Chains A and B, each alone.
Chain A
Amino acid sequence: MSEQTLRQWLLSETPTSRRHARAAAFYKGWLSFRGNSMAMIGLGILIALLLIAAFAPLLSPYDPFVQDLGNRLKPLGTEGHILGTDSLGRDILSRLIHGSRITLYIVALVALIAPVAGLLIGTVAGFAGGWTDTILMRITDIFLAFPRLVLALAFVAALGAGIENAVLAISLTAWPPYARIARAETLTIRASDYISAIRLQGAGPLRIITKHIWPLCISSLIVRVTLDMAGIILAAAGLGFLGLGAQPPSPEWGAMISEGRRFILDHWWVATMPGLAIFTVSLAFNLLGDGLRDVLDPKDAGK
């Protein structure tokens, strides 16, 4: 199949199979996404981040943990240390490169835990209705009404400092909006004719929820997760900055800012560089999220 015919096949108005229809819908979504240059920039930054994290040992010029006290606090552009060195003579560029792994690790874990928990709670509440719905939504409302960062602080205080506990604390405060969205979607889907049709065919609640409700909740959840990613990165960096997330000598970006804070007036680059990294990545997630919303959820576009 030549490229031209592949394109025509993808843009066909009359798909011949289910897979064809899916491929066509995906391709059309991609075309509209590609037209959004800001979203493409965001996507590009994130792909670059993935590559940097994957090849961190090859890309970083130095070991991120090796101290070199003779070369401490070297400024930007020093021979061999483009982004300078920190108070223990460690190469800042190498630490940033290795820190990208920690950022991705945190983001991936929270993105797995919180939406899945929200999806479960929301669909069960919406599908079951009655008391189950009332109780689950009351719990959701309670968690929604909490101050997130302060609650995450209290959780970490109880669980002990560390990356995994920070992830847990952020997830515990992040799931309620997903539950709300999933419940709202479930309520509209539940009443539709095709669900009645499946039910008449003898499908049980488990099958209806997993095969027919979840797939339809996914796209609004993906948009919300992508838009929330920036907030999650900022929260994780904040916990790291307060000394409650990743522990030294780990090259976590928030913890690096905290280390550099003491020298901010004389050696500004030590705290500035990791901050720029955090900013770039969360900006990329925001751009990508905006673009995805326009593609997957056209009714909210432009708001």
Chain B
Amino acid sequence: MGSLRTLTSIAVTMLGLLFVTFIIGRVMPIDPVLAIVGERASQSTYDATYEALGLDKPLIVQFFIYVGDVLRGDFGISTLNSRPVSEDILRVFPATLELATLGVVFGVVLGVPLGVVAAVKRGTWIDQIARVVALIGYSMPIFWLGLIGLLIFYGILGWVGGPGRLDIFYVDIVPTITGMILVDAAIDGNWDVFRNAFSHLILPASLLGYYSLAYISRMTRSFMLEQLSAEYVTTARVKGMSEWDVVWRHAFRNIRVQLITVIALSYAGLLEGSVLTEIIFSWPGIGSYITTALLSADMNAVLGGTVVVGLIFILLNIFSDLLYKVFDPRAK
């Protein structure tokens, strides 16, 4: 029964998402027919396209046609480059995935230990530093921090690569297999390209990593505080167990499930948060794709991109819920 309920809830949420994007597509002040046929088309051409797009049918029928199209992976044709939107999204998505994945890895590797230490050394200067680091992360506009980062590390110090995924003379050397340049370069064994791609990736990825670090470290700290005040921790200490074992083998073991939930959520947040970062770093991912389409009123591309990001977001949310149920017997 439980799995049926979960499936229904996934289906309803996704239908809701599609309904919202469908409505957005309807209230658009741009005439979708004119966008295709152009202003000089004859009335008969206009009418034929109008019917071909199914605009003569009732709204509810149009909605289900739309849902059917999306289920088959058909997001329509981009009015900007006349290619299927789904192909474009498949092409740009690996770039975002690469960026967000590396970002969340930074966030976890630095954020979890920071949160644990802040909880153990509660009230000390380490805790204060962790607090300030998180507070700044919550208050800083990400696109501005990206600009400042480019200015300092690329413009002044020259430590990292500039905007884009590769320097121009490294482009198209390794064959595209996964679309993630680090992986492709490693498969090809071309370490020059790998190094160059990494120098471009490191700044935007650490920027995103900082934002997930702020969130992950705060949550880790509060989960750990809860565990450390529990009676079994006192018992373990009274037994004479070393502090290291108390913290890592008892308390930390109990927050792993909660922590994975938080990491999944912050991963979903990064996929979205990469929109502004991608603009700053001219990163050809899904965020840049949506924004470029937006500014040229390419509505199929905007809605297609929104649906894809939305679906991933919803799936990660549900995944973290499920994980919680599987690993935490109390939640059953």
Chain A interface (Cβ < 8 Å from any Cβ of B): 138-139, 141-143, 145-151, 153-160, 230, 234, 237-238, 241-244, 254, 257, 261, 264-265, 268, 271-272, 275, 278-279, 282-283, 285-287, 302-303
Does B139 lie at the interface of the complex (its beta carbon under 8 Å from any beta carbon of A)? Answer: yes
Q: A145-B13, A150-B306 are in contact. Are A254 and B275 (CB under 8 A)?
A: no
Interface residues of B in 308-325 (CB under 8 A from A): 309-310, 313-314, 317
Query: What chain A residues lie within 8 Å of B295 (beta carbons)?
Result: 243
Interface of B is mostly: helix
B61 at the interface (CB under 8 A from A): no
Write the residues of chain B forming the contact surface with A, with a CB cutoff of 8 angstroms: 9, 12-13, 16-17, 20-21, 24-25, 27-29, 135-136, 138-145, 147-148, 150-151, 155, 222, 225, 268, 271-273, 275-276, 279-280, 290-291, 294-295, 297, 299, 302-303, 305-306, 309-310, 313-314, 317
CB neighbours of A138 from chain B (8 A) = 12, 16
Judge whether B272 and A261 touch: CB under 8 Å: no
A149 to B294, CA, bound (A): 13
Q: Judge whether A146 and B136 touch: CB under 8 Å.
A: no
State the CA gap A271–B280 with chains docked (Å): 12
CA A303 to CA B222, docked complex, whole Å? 6
Q: What residue in chain A is nearest B138 (Cβ atoms)?
A: A286
Minimum CB–CB distance for A74 against chain B, Å:
18
Nearest Cβ in chain B — how far from A260, in angstroms? 8
Chain B residues positioned under 8 Å from A275 (CB to CB): 141, 144-145, 147-148
Q: Are A150 and B272 in contact (CB under 8 A)?
A: yes
Bound CA span A148–B276, Å: 13
CA distance in complex: A234, B290 (Å)? 19
Are B291 and A264 neighbours in the complex by a CB distance under 8 Å? no
Q: What separation, in Å, do the CA atoms of A265 and B225 have in the docked complex?
A: 44
* 18 A-B pairs (CB sep. < 8 Å): A138-B12, A145-B317, A147-B310, A149-B273, A150-B306, A153-B302, A154-B24, A230-B139, A238-B142, A238-B143, A243-B295, A257-B143, A264-B150, A264-B155, A265-B150, A265-B155, A275-B141, A275-B144
Given contacts A151-B306, A265-B155, contact A241 B275 (CB under 8 A): no
**CB proximity of A129 to chain B, nearest CB, Å:** 20
A261 to B141, CA, bound (A): 14
Rounded to whole angstroms, the CA-CA distance of A159 and B144 in the bound complex is 26
Given contacts A142-B16, A242-B291, contact A157 B314 (CB under 8 A): no
* A257–B144 CB distance below 8 A: yes
B317 touches A147 (CB 8 A): no
- A150-B285 Cα distance, complex, nearest whole Å: 14
Neighbour of B291 across the interface among A142, A153, A272, A282, CB < 8 A: A153
Q: Output the nearest chain A residue to B314 by Cβ-Cβ distance.
A: A145
Min CB distance, B27 to chain A, in Å?
A: 5
- CB-CB under 8 A from A241, the residues of chain B are 141, 143, 276, 279
Q: Are A230 and B138 in contact (CB under 8 A)?
A: yes
- Return chain A residues, CB-CB under 8 Å to B25: 158
* A54 CA to B295 CA, complexed, in Å: 34
Is the CB–CB distance between B141 and A147 below 8 Å? no
Bound-complex Cα distance A279 to B139 (A): 6
Q: In the bound complex, do residue A150 and residue B310 qualify as a contact, i.e. CB atoms below 8 Å apart?
A: yes
Contact check: which of A149, A155, A156, A158 meets B275 at CB < 8 Å? A149
List 6 A-B pairs, minimum CB-CB distance, nearest first: A142-B16, A275-B144, A283-B139, A147-B272, A282-B139, A265-B155
Report the Cα distance A117→B236, complex, angstroms.
49
Question: Inside 8 A of B141's CB, which chain A residues have their CB?
Answer: 234, 237-238, 241, 254, 257, 275, 278-279, 282
**Cα distance A148–B313 when bound, in Å?**
10
**Which residues of chain B have C-beta atoms less than 8 A from A303's C-beta?**
222, 225
Complex: A68 Cα to B297 Cα, angstroms: 34
Cβ of B54 to closest chain A Cβ, rounded Å: 19
